[in-house]
Amino acid sequence: MITVEHLVKQYGDFRAVDDLSFTVEKGEILGFLGPNGAGKSTTMNMITGYNSATEGDVTINGFNIYDEPEKAKRCIGYLPEIPPVYPDMRVKEYLRFCTELKEIPRKDREAEVKRVMDLLHVTHMQNKMIKHLSKGYRQRVGLAQALIGDPEVLILDEPTVGLDPMQITWMREMIRSLGKEHTVILSSHILFEVNAVCDRVLIINHGKKLVIDTPENIIRNLGGTSGVRVVVRADEEDFLAAVRSVPNLSRCEKLTEDVGEGLTAYAVYSADGSEIRDRLFALCAARGFILYELNAIQKTLEDVFIAMTGKGDTV
């Protein structure tokens, strides 16, 4: 469990993190999002104890990271964006070295190395030099070092960056599995990944918390409906003219997708965000248009993120 209370990191007059508070429970995966420069890396560095806070507290499984740093850090496994591996060491040699750094009892080190190698499916690579491993296997070894000592809390910064689709799928499944028994904070550029893997999402901007909730609730409460997808059997000119006569519609766009012979798909948007499906249904019934589909087009987590942060760049 992680509890962050009123965390502040100030550089002169600038606050990189500004009164940030949240809690992540055991068995929960929290997606951590924000534009470049929002304060994500600074926050993660303070949570892991690599950087000190100007104000506030971070508690890891009941241990304050500043008052009891050794006890708190033993509860944390950290995988930075660039895995902290040594290219000129062999996989098993490196992981054994990590058990020494984490002060695993000498009698348990071989078993612990075997456990994490088996878990991350790198046992067959144990005698290879890390510099000869693919990006995907280097990432696995990086995650293996984070898991040494079986820490209760995992901090994962961009764990799938640079991986191919098969490796990304494997890593996502591994994170889901780890999330059942650990507290996980996951930072990712890939909003689809966050939506698919995380139980809740925290979005920050300019060091401040904007929202923390499930992806579904964020989309539902803050995204709303961006439009309505309509599939009809009707003359195109007649349909477009009829739709344009409906009050509070901003635009109607013909879609290029193939929806069947004699059918056409349109995207219709409300000018004021109000519900328009009832009006479109009544219109089709009154004009004799054969209606096949009438579905809300929901905004995605990416749509909401861009709207909230006012940025189109990466997280």
SS3 93: helix
Which tens digit of pLDDT belongs to each residue from 144-194? 999 999 999 999 999 998 889 999 999 999 999 999 999 999 998 888 889
SS3 200: strand
SS3 96: helix
pLDDT at 224: 61
Domain(s) labelled CATH 3.40.50.300 in the chain stretch across: 2-221
Q: Specify the pTM.
A: 0.79
Rounded to 5°, the CA angle 7-11-12 comes to 125
pLDDT at 222: 78
Cβ atoms 160, 197 nearer than 8 A: no
| Amino acid, res. 18 | D
303, containing H or E segment = helix 301-309
Mean pLDDT of 266-282: 86
SS3 105: coil
Q: Residue 88 pLDDT more than 80?
A: yes
Interatomic CA distance for residues 141 and 122, integer angstroms: 7
User: What's the residue count for the chain?
Assistant: 315
Interatomic CA distance for residues 68 and 20, integer angstroms: 21
User: Which residue has better confidence, 87 or 219?
Assistant: 87
Cβ atoms 61, 1 nearer than 8 A: yes
List phi, psi (to 5°) of 80.
-70, 170
Interatomic CA distance for residues 145 and 138, integer angstroms: 11
Mean pLDDT of 254-283: 88
pLDDT at 226: 64
Which tens digit of pLDDT belongs to each residue from 207-252? 999 999 999 888 877 766 568 999 999 999 999 999 988 888 878 8
SS3 117: helix
pLDDT at 111: 98
Cβ atoms 257, 234 nearer than 8 A: no
Q: Which CATH number fits domain 225-298: 1.20.950.20, 3.40.50.1970, 3.30.70.3190, 3.30.70.1400?
A: 3.30.70.3190
SS3 149: coil
pLDDT at 314: 41
Domain(s) labelled CATH 3.30.70.3190 in the chain stretch across: 225-298
Cβ atoms 309, 38 nearer than 8 A: yes
The DSSP bridge partners found for residue 295 are: 229
Mean pLDDT of 106-132: 97
Neighbours of 118 (CB within 10 A): 11
Q: Residue 135 pLDDT more than 50?
A: yes
> Which CATH architecture fits 2-221?
3-Layer(aba) Sandwich (3.40)
pLDDT at 312: 46
